[in-house]
């Protein structure tokens, strides 16, 4: 019997990132965030996306994409204060919940005072402030057997500590270690840093663009499902061709999600290059329905099933408003599929649906709310407290109903 591996991302601690003034969240394989608009759900997910952007483009461009440092610093915080992110994960070889992989990033704006006219230093002119980005990083890879490893980055200096033995090296000024250090040799920890970086660089935020998914796919087969579902037809064609058993299981569930559906068929089209049209075959009706003619809910359901049956998903997957367009009668099966798929990809999901929350376990629920100073409280209530409340109610009220009463917090007043 295979040993079930721990979730990839175990803990996330964030300070001063937008509404996340001081948040620490422990994560399971399946995590469903609930709470009113503005409670911080999207900000928590954006921390992960931010790390992925910083790995691909570096820290400065990742900040610029969000309007700059001042725009993401918690409002009311002094500009000199730092934003920090701490990550505890289990992604490297031999890591687990006891011997974890740890990463921390802290960054702030530093101030330089310079002459307006540096070519005339004797000229008495008012000084102006110039700002630069200060950053520091730390990596720690724990081990039960053999020496652990710690790597620290401050400015352009890297410090390595393996089993108490210390050495140093230099890094290009301004480079993010999480993006650069994977190039190190395995002896210096390159593989370990790379495994941690890949966790965030491959983070999938799945948001179906129904209008784009309706159009014929421009490829005959696609091995990777686009984050907006644009290539839904060619991805499902690939699954039918390369993973027929998984595809047949997907079709069985699609019949439950889409009333009247009998099967899915594919048509190859020509042009500049081969493409694919996905057809829905319906019971009792001749011919077929193309995706262009299918309902909004049918396309959402097929895209969601494609994601849940993906044979090679990224390690982290985010879905906002997962139940949008789905009938409540399929929610039981949806949660079953999420739990099955969470053995391949860790889920962070946002919803406003009490009906969906009714199907969850207390360990899968993360309640979010904002305090009187507009700072996010995540979790607003610990899962163990929720579990005790459930036990006291003896199943007389569902978890979603309990949340909707306001007993768990995270409800608009």
Can you tell me whether residue 383 is helix, strand or coil?
A: helix
First and final CA of the chain: distance in angstroms?
49
Angle at CA of residue 206, ends 204 and 211, nearest 5°: 140
Model confidence band, residue 297 (pLDDT cutoffs 50, 70, 90): very high
Instruction: Kindly tell me if the per-residue pLDDT of 3 is higher than 90.
Output: no
Q: What is the pLDDT of residues 134-189, one digit of tens each?
A: 899 999 998 766 678 999 999 889 999 987 889 998 888 778 999 999 999 888 89
Q: Region 250-274: what's the mean pLDDT?
A: 89
Q: What is the pLDDT of residues 199-246, one digit of tens each?
A: 999 999 999 999 999 988 888 999 999 999 999 999 999 999 999 999
Helix segments in 3-154, DSSP class H: 41-57, 59-64, 69-72
Task: Kindly report the pTM of this predicted structure.
Answer: 0.89
Query: Do the beta carbons of residue 193 and residue 139 sit within 8 Å?
Result: yes
Model confidence band, residue 1 (pLDDT cutoffs 50, 70, 90): very low
On the 0-12 / 13-18 / 19+ scale of CB atoms within 10 A, 324 is middle
Strand order in the sheet with 261-269: 261-269, 275-282, 289-290
- What pLDDT is stored for residue 230 in this prediction? 94
Beta-bridged to residue 376, according to DSSP, are 370
């Amino acid at each position: 019997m295979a040993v079930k591996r721990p979730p990839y991302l175990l803990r996330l601690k964030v300070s001063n990132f937008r509404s996340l003034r001081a948040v620490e969240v422990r994560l399971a394989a399946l995590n469903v965030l609930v709470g009113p608009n503005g409670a911080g759900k999207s900000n928590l997910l954006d921390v992960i996306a931010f790390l992925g952007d910083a790995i691909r483009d570096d820290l400065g461009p990742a900040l610029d994409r969000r309007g700059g440092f001042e725009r993401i610093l918690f409002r009311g915080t002094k500009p000199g204060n730092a934003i920090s992110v701490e990550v505890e994960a289990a992604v490297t070889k031999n890591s687990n919940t006891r011997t974890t992989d740890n990463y921390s990033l802290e960054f702030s704006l530093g101030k330089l005072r310079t002459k307006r006219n540096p070519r005339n230093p004797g000229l008495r002119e008012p000084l102006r402030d110039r700002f630069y980005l200060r950053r520091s990083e730390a990596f720690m890879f724990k081990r039960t057997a053999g020496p652990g490893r710690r790597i620290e980055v401050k400015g352009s200096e890297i410090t390595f500590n393996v089993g108490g033995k210390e050495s140093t090296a230099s890094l290009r000024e301004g480079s993010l270690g999480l993006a650069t250090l994977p190039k190190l040799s395995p002896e210096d920890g390159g593989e370990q840093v790379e495994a941690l970086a890949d966790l965030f660089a491959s983070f999938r935020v799945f948001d179906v663009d129904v209008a784009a998914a309706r159009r014929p796919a421009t490829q005959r087969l696609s091995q990777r499902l686009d984050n907006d579902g644009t290539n839904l037809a060619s991805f499902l064609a690939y699954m039918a061709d390369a993973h027929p058993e998984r595809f047949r299981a997907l079709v069985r569930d699609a019949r439950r999600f889409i009333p009247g559906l009998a099967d899915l068929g594919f048509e190859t089209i020509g042009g500049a290059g081969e493409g694919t049209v996905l057809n829905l075959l319906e019971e009792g009706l001749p011919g077929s329905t193309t995706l262009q003619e299918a309902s909004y809910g049918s396309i959402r359901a097929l895209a969601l099933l494609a994601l849940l049956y993906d044979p090679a998903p990224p390690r982290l997957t985010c879905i906002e408003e997962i139940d949008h367009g789905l009938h409540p009668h399929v929610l039981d099966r949806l949660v079953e599929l999420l739990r099955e798929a969470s053995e391949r990809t860790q889920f962070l999901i946002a919803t406003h649906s009490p009906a969906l929350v009714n199907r969850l376990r207390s360990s899968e629920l993360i309640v979010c709310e904002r305090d009187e100073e507009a700072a996010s409280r995540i979790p607003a209530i610990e899962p163990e407290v929720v579990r005790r409340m459930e036990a006291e109610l003896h199943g007389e009220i569902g978890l979603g109903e309990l949340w909707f009463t306001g007993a768990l917090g995270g409800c608009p007043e």
